[in-house]
A = this chain, B = another copy of it.
């Protein structure tokens, strides 16, 4: 069981969202942030770095947005749907753009294939969370 699950289990108040869906989203977000950071660096080390500039840029955006969304989703105290909902929408858009660009390079670069998987999983997990929150 991830720390995210354990910390939701020991949260002192109640919260209005399924803990399993929330923990899955937090884990997918932190994993995706790391994958995007690493993939941008992998791209920088490739011989064809000039062809990977868009991939690097989108990975840097996606890493930042996923990390921030993980932080906001981890905070349940005085939860504010007005903030969480549009942020999840931005994160879904970022994972989609980054995943699509990684997919273009996935046949040539195995690291882009791994990053695409992280982005797709995170996009799905955020969609499930946005459907679950009130």
Contact = CB atoms under 8 A, between A and B. Distances in A.
B46 A49 contact: no
A97 B72 CA distance: 14
| Copies of this chain, tallied across the complex | 4
Q: How large is the interface on A (under 10, 10 to 19, 20 to 34, 35 or more residues)?
A: 35 or more
Contacts of A90: 83, 86-87, 89-90
Interface in A84-134: 86-87, 89-90, 93-94, 96-97, 109-111, 113-115, 117-118
A117 to B, nearest CB: 8
A38 interface: yes
B35 A7 contact: yes
A15 B75 CA distance: 29
Interface string A7-26: 11111110000000000001
A66 to B, nearest CB: 9
5 contacts: A7-B114, A30-B33, A64-B72, A67-B68, A87-B90
